């Protein structure tokens, strides 16, 4: 037998043993025998360097050192999930789904929601290619070398699956492994890790992959993302994924009704404490993949899935002091500084009190004993006061009237829950906060510049607003604390490169109150330039789809402020993209202006997303459900019969994929 044949035989054998042990929990070889075979393979690969394979079992032991993790854009966005906290919430979700699909014949998959670090694994032709953390959903950090050390993740698939795909999952640290790690740290006189979730997440960013290999991390998979139409349902795709080597939890269940969903929820609400890893809820998904496509996404989450969160753990502790924070928009947030208390695996010291109304509603006072829980088991919040323990001389909380940072008198407009500091250009946290928002990933995404550096630049008098960034020089930046020449050059290069960022992201980066990512895209698309937007009247702004009075007035206020006008003029002079590019404009028309479309069925010339983009690029609007306002339905194959019937009843014109292409040509 040739060395190549022997090497391949050993690789296949070791991969099978890995799968049996780490996925099936069924060891078919002793650890000693496994190590002997692994060493034999290592020696053969060393003697035959031309036969190197990045996905060989020998690569799982780690050893690669990554100084800086590359940021990569996700090919397919990793959305968040909408949360529900009651069965009434789930019933409301089902009604919304049925309305969009025009059908009550639905199947669901019920899955445990694992408490770990989300990961996106890319495979091509059956081979593992790369791993990227969730990040902000649009882009994350490449952690390929560290992920290879997790033995439950297949590096080569056992048989054919789909050619190119992404596998989504959760990196977790089982409870037994977490306890062993903490026992070792205590024995070494080191501080214990706080909880499995944060430890799993932190492990992915260790620079030395051999250190990651020592940690008992696991990976549970829950979604396949591919353009291939090999499977009709989510459940079927996961069953096949399990067969080719992926660790898909056996707890996933296919159900036929919302009542069966409730049965699943009730069962695991009791049984979850017996699981070998942490879970904080249930994920319910529409099973049919075509129906998932029809349902689509909101700006933040898929419409075809929802998370049901188990009731949060609750503890009591003493509220020592109420302090106040200033946000980038000047919004004041009261903060409860608590006597430290353990809650759901973490030490809680602070909790948001939201606003003056919330303090008054709950009658929260300093030195009260309060009930604390984690909203969605993530963010600590105060849910009430134990009045039996309140001191006799306790006095009601008087909400602050002045800014805690600059002493300016606070303002509060009618109908607004929060107080604001109006000293926009003189209040330090507002100045720093606006610049930090400007440079953030979803906005200008400036490499080499972080929040701490922004604060340092402001304190040194080098910047007072985001326009000042474009006048910084390497010579000015180098003297800063912990700033080397290379770091300074990277920062200046990152600032320069941000001049290429598209108008819609620049608009979001400006930090206009109430103008988030989605609103910025709509405004950029409608007005085409910052000049048109800032010249728009209140009526013209409200006329834009989904722009209400509050957003419109905020834009008017921003546009009429002399300081903001000067900032925009400076950004223009530096060459930022403050209008939609000619290339994008070239692909946009008003052919479909004012028309509302519903896209339904399976398409072949264009993907569903391409169809929706084409509608919007040509001035039309895409709606998720059929109504009297719908003008056209673009119908592909297998359009739902109930949708078809509703369209016919309302007299809506139904066009084919080709009809649509002809319409915009």
What local confidence, expressed as pLDDT, does residue 276 receive? 92
Q: Of 37, 95, 99, 113, which residue is the catalytic one? A: 113
Same domain (yes/no): 555, 524: yes
Under a CB-based contact definition with an 8 Å cutoff, are residues 96 and 104 in contact? no
Question: Percent of the chain, pLDDT > 90?
Answer: 55
Phi, psi of 236 (to 5 degrees): -60, -40
Mean pLDDT to the nearest integer, 618-633 = 88
pLDDT, tens digit, 9 for 90 and up, residues 109-126: 999 999 899 999 999 999
At which of 500, 518, 549 does a domain end? 500
DSSP-derived 3-state class of residue 317: strand
Cβ count near 187 (within 10 Å): 8
pLDDT over 70 at 23, yes or no: no
Radius of gyration of the chain from its Cα atoms, rounded to whole angstroms: 28
The count of other CB atoms within 10 Å of the CB of residue 599 is 25
Answer yes or no: is pLDDT of 218 > 90: yes
Same domain, 228 and 153: yes
535 in helix, strand or coil? helix
CA atoms within 13 A on the CB side of 377: 22
List Cα–Cα distances, 405 to 399, 409, 410, 421, in angstroms.
Answer: 15, 11, 11, 9
- The number of domains in the chain is 6
Whether residue 512 lies inside any domain: the answer is yes
Question: What CA–CA distance (Å, rounded) separates 584 from 157?
Answer: 41
CA distance 331 to 599: 41
Closest CA to 127 of 98, 167, 89: 167
Give the pLDDT confidence of 51-73 residue by residue, as tens digits.
Answer: 777 777 777 766 667 777 888 98
Q: How many CB atoms lie within 10 A of CB 500?
A: 9
User: How far from the centroid of its chain's Cα atoms is residue 258's Cα?
Assistant: 27
Tokens of 168: 């989504």
**Beta strand pairing call for 108-114 and 253-255:** antiparallel
Give all strands of the β-sheet with 127-133 in edge-to-edge order: 127-133, 117-124, 164-172, 218-225
Report pLDDT for 123. Answer: 95
Structural contact between residues 155 and 128, judged by C-beta atoms closer than 8 angstroms? yes
* pLDDT (mean) for 339-351: 85
Q: Average pLDDT for residues 238-264, to the nearest whole number?
A: 95
* β partners of residue 235: none
In terms of average pLDDT, the best of 18-27, 347-356, 463-472 is: 463-472
211 plus 297 within the same structural domain: yes
Answer whether residue 186 is part of any domain.
yes
In the predicted model, what is the mean pLDDT of residues 632-655?
A: 85
Do 132 and 261 sit in the same domain of this protein?
Answer: yes
Residue 173 phi/psi, 5-degree rounding, is -120, 105
How far is 123 from 147, CA to CA, in rounded Å? 13
Q: What is the pLDDT of residues 416-439, one digit of tens each?
A: 889 999 998 899 999 999 999 999
Average pLDDT over every residue of 400-414: 94
Nearest-angstrom CA–CA distance, 204 and 186: 22
In a domain, 492, yes or no: yes
* The pLDDT of residue 304: 96
Question: Pairing between strand 253-255 and 279-286?
Answer: unpaired
Mean local confidence (pLDDT), 574-602: 85
Q: How far apart are CA 245 and CA 22, in angstroms?
A: 10
- Per the structure, the complete domain to which residue 635 belongs is given by 596-664
* Mean pLDDT within 248-252: 95
From its phi and psi, is residue 570 left (phi > 0), alpha (psi between -120 and 50) or beta? alpha
pLDDT band at 600 (very low <50, low <70, confident <90, very high): confident
Task: Report the pLDDT averaged over residues 266-295.
Answer: 91
Give yes or no: residues 124 and 234 share one domain: yes
Q: How confident is the model at residue 452 (pLDDT cuts 50, 70, 90)?
A: confident
SS (H, E, C) 158-211: CCCCCCEEEEEEEEECCHHHHHHHHHHHHHCCCCCCCCHHHHHHHHCCCCEHHH
Residues 178 and 295 occupy one common structural domain? yes
User: What ranges in 485-605 are assigned the alpha helix state H?
Assistant: 485-497, 503-509, 517-527, 530-535, 538-542, 549-559, 562-573, 582-586
Please state, in angstroms and rounded to a whole number, the distance separating the CA atoms of residues 562 and 549.
Answer: 22
Distance of CA 286 to CAs 93, 106, 598, 625, Å?
Answer: 11, 7, 19, 16
Same domain, 452 and 348: no
Q: Are residues 242 and 212 in the same domain?
A: yes
Confidence at 393, pLDDT banded by 50, 70, 90: very high
Position 601 confidence tier, pLDDT thresholds 50, 70, 90: confident
Mean pLDDT of 628-634: 91
Question: Which of residues 133 and 14 earns the better pLDDT score?
Answer: 133
> Mean pLDDT for the chain?
89
Range 154-174 average pLDDT: 91
Percentages helix, strand, coil for the chain (3-state, rounded to 5) are 40, 20, 40
b/e per residue, 461-488, with b = 16+ CB within 10 A? ebbebbbbbbebeeeebeebeeeeeebb
Q: Which of 49, 221, 213 is nearest to 123 (CA)?
A: 221
Q: In this predicted structure, what is the pLDDT of residue 388? A: 94
Largest CA distance in the chain: 89
Model pLDDT, residue 147: 94
pLDDT at 267: 95
Residue 267: CA count within 13 A, CB half-sphere: 12
Highest mean pLDDT pick, 109-123, 157-171, 185-199, 599-613? 109-123
Using alpha carbons, list the distances in angstroms from residue 340 to 345, 351, 389, 610: 13, 11, 18, 51
CA distances from 516 to 60, 200, 430, 521, 544 (A): 42, 31, 17, 9, 15
pLDDT band at residue 617 using 50, 70 and 90 as cut-offs: confident
pLDDT above 90 for 293: no
521 catalytically annotated: no
More confident residue, 60 or 206: 206
**Is 590 a domain residue?**
no
Residues 294 and 443 in one domain: no
Whether 423 is covered by a domain: the verdict is no
- Measured distance CA(295)–CA(599) in Å, rounded: 10
Q: Are residues 349 and 487 in the same domain?
A: no
Task: Report how far residue 136's alpha carbon sits from residue 153's, in angstroms, rounded to the nearest whole number.
Answer: 23
**Residue of 561 and 314 predicted with greater confidence:** 561
- What angle do helix axes 657-664 and 608-617 make, rounded to 10 degrees? 30
- pTM equals 0.73
Helices 549-559 & 562-573, crossing angle to 10 degrees? 70
In a domain, 398, yes or no: no
Q: How confident is the model at residue 496 (pLDDT cuts 50, 70, 90)?
A: very high
CATH number, domain with residue 343: 2.40.50.140
CATH number at residue 516: 1.10.150.20
Length of the chain: 665
Q: Are residues 157 and 292 in the same domain?
A: yes
- Looking at 585, 609, 634, the residue that finishes a domain is 585
Helix (H, G, I), strand (E, B) or coil at 415: coil
Locate 303 and state its tokens.
């419409």
- What CATH code is carried by the domain that includes residue 199? 3.30.470.30
400 is a domain residue: no
pLDDT attached to residue 577: 95
Give yes or no: residues 259 and 209 share one domain: yes
Residue 302 has pLDDT above 70, yes or no: yes
Residue that is last in its domain, among 585, 612, 645: 585
Average pLDDT of 335-353?
A: 88
Provide the 8-state DSSP code for 374: E
């Amino acid at each position: 037998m040739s060395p190549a044949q022997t090497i391949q035989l050993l690789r296949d054998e070791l991969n099978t043993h890995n799968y049996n042990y780490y996925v099936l929990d069924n060891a078919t070889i002793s650890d000693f025998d496994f190590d002997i075979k692994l060493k034999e393979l290592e020696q053969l690969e060393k003697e035959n360097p031309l036969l190197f394979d990045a996905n060989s079992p020998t690569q799982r032991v780690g050893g690669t050192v990554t100084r800086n993790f590359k940021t990569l854009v996700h090919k397919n966005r990793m959305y968040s999930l909408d949360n529900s906290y009651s069965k009434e919430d789930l019933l409301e979700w089902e009604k919304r789904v049925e309305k969009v699909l025009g059908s009550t014949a639905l199947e669901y998959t019920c899955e445990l929601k694992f408490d770990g670090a989300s990961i996106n694994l890319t495979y091509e032709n059956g081979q593992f290619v790369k791993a990227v953390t969730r990040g902000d959903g649009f882009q994350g950090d490449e952690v390929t070398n560290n992920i290879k050390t997790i033995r439950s993740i297949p590096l080569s698939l056992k048989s054919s699956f789909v050619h190119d795909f992404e596998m989504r999952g959760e990196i977790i640290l089982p409870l037994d492994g977490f306890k062993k790690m903490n026992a070792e740290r205590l024995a070494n006189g080191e501080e214990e890790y706080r909880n499995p979730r944060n430890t799993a997440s932190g492990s992915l960013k260790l620079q030395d992959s051999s250190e990651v290999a020592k940690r008992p991390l696991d990976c549970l998979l829950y979604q396949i993302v591919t353009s291939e139409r090999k499977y009709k349902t989510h459940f079927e795709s996961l069953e096949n994924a399990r067969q080719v080597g992926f660790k898909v939890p056996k707890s996933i269940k296919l159900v036929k009704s919302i009542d069966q969903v409730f049965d699943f929820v009730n069962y695991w609400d009791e049984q979850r404490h017996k699981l070998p890893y942490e879970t904080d809820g249930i994920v319910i998904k529409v099973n049919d993949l075509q129906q998932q496509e029809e349902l689509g996404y909101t700006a933040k989450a898929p419409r075809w899935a929802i998370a049901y969160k188990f009731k949060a753990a609750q503890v009591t502790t003493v509220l020592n002091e109420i302090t106040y924070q200033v946000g980038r928009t000047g919004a004041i947030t009261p903060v409860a500084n608590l006597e430290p208390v353990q809650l759901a695996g973490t030490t809680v010291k602070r909790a948001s009190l939201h606003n003056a109304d919330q303090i008054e509603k709950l009658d929260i006072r300093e030195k009260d004993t309060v009930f604390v829980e984690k909203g969605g088991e993530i963010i600590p919040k105060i849910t009430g006061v134990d009045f039996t323990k309140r001191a006799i001389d306790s006095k009601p909380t008087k909400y602050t009237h002045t800014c805690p940072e600059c002493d300016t008198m606070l303002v509060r407009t009618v109908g607004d829950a929060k107080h604001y500091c109006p000293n926009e250009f003189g209040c330090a946290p507002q100045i720093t906060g606006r610049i930090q928002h400007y440079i953030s990933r979803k906005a200008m995404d400036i490499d080499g510049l972080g929040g701490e550096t922004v604060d340092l630049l402001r304190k040194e008098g080098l910047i007072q607003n985001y326009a000042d960034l474009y006048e910084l020089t390497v010579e000015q930046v180098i003297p800063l604390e912990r700033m080397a020449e290379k770091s300074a050059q990277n920062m200046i290069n990152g600032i320069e490169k941000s001049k290429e960022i598209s108008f819609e992201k620049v608009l979001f980066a400006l930090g206009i109150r109430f103008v988030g990512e989605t609103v910025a895209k709509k405004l950029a698309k409608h007005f085409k330039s910052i000049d048109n937007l800032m010249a728009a009247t209140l009526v013209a702004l409200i006329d834009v789809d989904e722009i209400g009075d509050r957003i419109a007035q905020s834009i008017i206020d921003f546009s009429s402020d002399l300081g903001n006008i000067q900032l925009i003029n400076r950004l223009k002079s530096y060459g930022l993209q403050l209008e939609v590019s000619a290339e994008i404009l070239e692909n946009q028309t008003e052919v479909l202006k004012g028309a509302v479309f519903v896209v339904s069925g399976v398409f072949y010339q264009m993907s569903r997303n391409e169809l929706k983009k084409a509608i919007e690029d040509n001035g039309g609007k895409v709606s998720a459900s059929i109504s009297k306002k719908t003008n056209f339905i673009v119908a592909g194959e297998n359009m739902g019969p109930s949708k078809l019937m509703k369209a016919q009843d309302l007299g809506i014109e139904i066009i084919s994929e080709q009809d649509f292409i002809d319409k915009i040509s």
